[in-house]
């Protein structure tokens, strides 16, 4: 079994610990957290796991095969780099780091040492996103025209990063997984209504090289919780509503087409297609379990994870670029990265 060392037992860490503990491929060997209260919580749930307060002790332990990092984003780079240099495989909470520069250093370090570097973009491993990926791959959606996502709720305000780094990161990871076209520019705008706080609401437009467009509406200051994504294609359109308890993904056989070669008035050329709606069966397996399986598979085979370091880097570049555009009230900024999806 792969011996896991988990750094950070705060909000999300316990979920990663549980997933590691319940997996047949992993053993949760060690947990590091600066907080004695957090370590006490870990002790009650995982009585046989070793506990340390300094992550450096965990990274230095030769019995640890893989390090899972669930600390605040500002510390991801230092811990992940140390873990890779110590020869560990790394699974790091999203976003991978807080700048494209540090993200690319991690990617290079992992490549140099042939270690797995994986980012915990959990949504990519949900049954819903995997079903959407299958639909797109099957050709039933056709060319992708747009990706339009609303991800809003009340709270939780974060002190160190804007809502973009907290919520838009999910959509950038999903887009990176689903869309094959290269994003070329971003225009973002946002606002903050709590003094001395980062932006709590933001709107992001992403332009793709093939003319497709994505748009994200993210907020911590909405009266209701919404998790809805629409994906429009030339053949069909998808509505993915993650707040539904069933039928999260609906496929609409709807669209518009322009008849060519006709000399009639313009309005006669546009025709609308209103066909059946259907909702496929979605796997209800917990995404974190699928993700841990992927981590184990890549450690064992040397394969690149679906959400590998290169993916994590692309997402960080988009986050950083969107943040700069937001400071400029929507000034569009070019993306330099080679390709969104690998």
**Using CA atoms, how far apart are residues 100 and 211, in angstroms rounded to an integer?**
25
Only segment of 31-39, 78-86, 133-141, 326-334 that touches a second copy (CB under 8 A): 326-334
Q: Does 24 bind a second copy (CB under 8 A)?
A: no
Only segment of 4-12, 89-97, 275-283, 288-296 that touches a second copy (CB under 8 A): 275-283
Q: Does 247 bind a second copy (CB under 8 A)?
A: yes
Q: Does 49 bind a second copy (CB under 8 A)?
A: no
Q: How many residues does the chain have?
A: 342
Q: Does 1 bind a second copy (CB under 8 A)?
A: no
Choice from 25, 27, 111, 230 touching a second copy (CB under 8 A):
230
**Using CA atoms, how far apart are residues 53 and 35, in angstroms rounded to an integer?**
7
Q: Does 133 bind a second copy (CB under 8 A)?
A: no
Strand partners, 6: 31, 68
Choice from 86, 110, 238, 288 touching a second copy (CB under 8 A):
238
CB 209, min distance to a second copy, A: 13
User: Regarding beta strands 26-32 and 249-258, do their DSSP bridges make them parallel or antiparallel, or are they unpaired?
Assistant: unpaired
Choice from 24, 114, 272, 336 touching a second copy (CB under 8 A):
272
Q: Does 56 bind a second copy (CB under 8 A)?
A: no
Question: Tokens 């709107």 correspond to what residue?
Answer: 203
Q: Which is nearer to a second copy, 121 or 248 (CB)?
A: 248
Q: Which is nearer to a second copy, 171 or 291 (CB)?
A: 171
Number of residues engaging a second copy in binding (CB under 8 A): 68
CB 84, min distance to a second copy, A: 31
The closest of 4, 114, 1 to 67, measured between CA atoms, is 4
Choice from 137, 243, 303, 327 touching a second copy (CB under 8 A):
243
Helix axes 100-113, 76-85, angle to 10 degrees: 10
Q: Does 155 bind a second copy (CB under 8 A)?
A: yes
**HSE-up of 201 (CA within 13 Å, CB side)?**
13
Q: Are 121 and 127 in contact (CB under 8 A)?
A: no
CA 252 to chain centre: 25
Q: Does 329 bind a second copy (CB under 8 A)?
A: yes
**Using CA atoms, how far apart are residues 260 and 298, in angstroms rounded to an integer?**
49
End-to-end CA distance of the chain: 30
φ/ψ of 21, rounded to 5, equals -65, -35
> Residues 79-118: x/- map of binding to a second copy (CB under 8 A)?
----------------------------------------
H or E segment at 6? strand 2-7
CB 56, min distance to a second copy, A: 25
> Residues 249-268: x/- map of binding to a second copy (CB under 8 A)?
-x-x-xxx-x-------xx-
Q: Does 278 bind a second copy (CB under 8 A)?
A: yes
Which residues make Cβ contacts (< 8 Å) with residue 336, sequence separation at least 6?
A: 317
Task: Give all strands of the β-sheet with 117-120 in edge-to-edge order.
Answer: 50-52, 26-32, 2-7, 66-69, 89-93, 117-120
Q: Which residues bind a second copy (CB under 8 A)?
A: 47, 145-146, 148, 150, 154-155, 157, 159, 185, 187, 189-191, 193-195, 197, 201, 203, 205, 207, 211-213, 215, 217, 219-225, 230, 232, 234, 237-239, 243, 245-247, 250, 252, 254-256, 258, 266-267, 270, 272, 274-281, 325, 328-332
């Amino acid at each position: 079994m792969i011996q896991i060392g988990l750094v950070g037992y705060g909000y999300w860490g316990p979920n990663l610990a549980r997933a590691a503990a319940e997996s047949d491929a992993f053993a949760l060997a060690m947990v590091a957290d600066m907080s004695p209260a957090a370590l006490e919580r870990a002790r009650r749930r995982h009585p046989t796991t070793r506990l340390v307060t300094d992550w450096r002790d965990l990274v230095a332990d030769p019995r640890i095969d893989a390090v899972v990092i669930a600390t605040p984003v500002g510390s991801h780079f230092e811990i992940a780099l140390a873990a890779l240099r110590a020869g560990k495989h790394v699974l790091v909470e999203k976003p991978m780091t807080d700048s494209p520069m540090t993200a690319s250093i991690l990617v290079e370090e992992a490549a140099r040492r042939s270690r797995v570097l994986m980012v915990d973009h959990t949504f990519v491993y949900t049954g819903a996103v995997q079903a959407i990926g299958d639909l797109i791959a099957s050709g039933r959606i056709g060319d992708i025209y747009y990706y339009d996502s609303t991800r809003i709720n009340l709270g939780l305000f974060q002190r160190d990063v804007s809502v973009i780094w907290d919520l838009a990161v999910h959509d950038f990871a999903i887009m990176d997984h689903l869309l094959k076209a290269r994003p070329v520019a971003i225009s973002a705008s946002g606002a903050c209504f709590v003094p001395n706080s980062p932006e709590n609401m933001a709107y992001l437009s992403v332009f793709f090289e093939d003319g497709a467009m994505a748009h994200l509406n993210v907020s911590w200051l909405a009266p209701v919780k919404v998790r809805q994504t629409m994906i429009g294609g030339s053949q069909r359109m998808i509505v993915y509503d993650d707040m539904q308890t069933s039928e999260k993904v609906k496929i609409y056989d709807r669209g518009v087409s322009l008849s060519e070669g006709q000399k009639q008035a313009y309005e006669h050329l546009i025709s609308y297609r209103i066909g059946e709606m259907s909702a496929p069966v979605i796997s209800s397996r917990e995404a974190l379990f699928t993700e841990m399986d992927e981590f184990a598979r890549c450690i064992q085979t040397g394969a690149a994870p679906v959400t590998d370091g290169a993916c994590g880097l692309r997402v960080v570049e988009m986050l950083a670029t969107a943040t700069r555009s937001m400071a400029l009230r929507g000034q569009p900024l070019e993306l330099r990265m080679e390709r969104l999806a690998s």
